[in-house]
Amino acid sequence: MSDSCQNRGPSRCFTPRMTTTAHDALARRFRALHTATRPLALANAWDVASARVVEAAGAPAIATTSAGVAWSLGRPDGDALSREEALGAIRRIAAAVTVPVTVDIESGYGADTTEAGETVRQVLEAGAVGINLEDGTRPPAELAARIRAARAAADAEGLDLFVNARVDTYLFGLGPEADRLADTLDRARQYVDAGADGVFVPGVTDLDVLAALAAKIPVPLNAMAGPGAPAVPVLGRAGVARVSLGAGVAQAAYTAAHRATVELLGTGGYGPLAGALDFGELNALLAAGPGAGARGVEE
C-alpha cells in the first residue's frame, strides 16, 4: 500500500495513475481547497455560461446544482433527470472551465448501486473531480452502499474523487427534532465509514448546531447558505469547511427573468435589467474559450 493510502485510510485509497494528468492535478487542487484557512465558498452553476461567469468572478472551483441543471432542461429537481442529461451538462461545464468541477448527482442516477457506480465512472470520464450524493428519505444504509460503489468506481479508474455525502435530516425535517442532531451524526458516521470525504448538511445555519456537527464529524463539513444565513467567515469560525449556495443562484437568475417580464408587461418599464453584465464582456467571455474566465469580468 502506498503512503497516500496509509494516510487516507483504506476506504478512501485509490491507485494513482502511472503519469500525472490534468485531471489528477485538478483533483489534488480541489481536495486541498477544503483545508484552506477560510471556508471554500461555492456559487453553484448549472450550464456553461453560469460556470464561466462564476469562474470569471474568481471562484477557485465550480460546483453544480442539480436543481439548476434540471430546470434548464425543462425538468423538476428530484431525480427527474436521466443520467445522459446530467452527464451532458457535466461534460459541457467541465470542458468550459479550467478550475476543478464538483457535481451534484442527486442519488446517483441509477436504480441500484451498480448503476450509481457506473454514473460515477462516467462523471469522472466527463472531467469532474468531486460529487455530491444525497440520502433524501432513503435508509442511510442505501446511501452508504452508493458511496462505496462510487469509491470503487474511482478506484477502478485510478482517480482521486472527493465524495461529499449529503445528509437531509434538517432539510427535510426527518424524525423528531430532538433527535435530529444525533441522527445526523449517526448518518455522517456511516457515510464516512463508507468512504465519504466530506459531509453536507443543508437546511441548518444555526451556529451552535453547525459547531456541534463540525466537532463530531471527522471530515470537512459543508453547509448551504443564502439570505439570512451567517456570512461565510462566521460559518468558518463555527467549523464549516465548505459553503455552497445550492440552487440559490439559479433561482435568482430565473427571478430576474420573471421580474423583467412582469415590469415589461405591466408598467412597460425596464428596471430589472439595470446593472446587468455588459453584453460585450459576457459575449467575449464565452467566445474566448476555456481559461478566459480566469481573466475576470468587470463588475
Q: Whole-angstrom Cα distance, residue 240 to residue 199?
A: 10
User: What separation in angstroms does the CA of 222 have from each of 20, 42, 53, 61, 199?
Assistant: 29, 10, 23, 14, 6
Contacts of 26 (CB under 8 A, 6+ apart): 99, 100, 101, 129
The predicted structure's pLDDT at residue 192:
98
The predicted structure's pLDDT at residue 292:
55
Report whether pLDDT(111) > 50.
yes
Q: Which three cell numbers stand for residue 30?
A: 480541489
CB 113 within 8 A of CB 147: no
Other C-beta atoms lying within 10 Å of the C-beta of residue 121:
18
Report whether pLDDT(235) > 50.
yes
CATH no. for residue 271? Answer: 3.20.20.60
Q: What is the DSSP letter of 277?
A: P
Q: Whole-angstrom Cα distance, residue 144 to residue 134?
A: 10
Kindly state the percentage of the chain with pLDDT values over 70: 90
Contacts of 18 (CB under 8 A, 6+ apart): none
- Domain span at residue 132? 3-295
The predicted structure's pLDDT at residue 18:
33
Report whether pLDDT(75) > 90.
yes
- pLDDT per residue over 47-56, tens digit each? 999 999 999 9
How many domains does the structure of the chain reveal? 1
CB 229 within 8 A of CB 201: no
- pLDDT per residue over 22-43, tens digit each? 899 999 999 999 987 689 999 9
Q: Which three cell numbers stand for residue 201?
A: 448538511
Q: 276 or 2: whose pLDDT is higher?
A: 276
What element of type H or E holds 54? Answer: helix 48-56
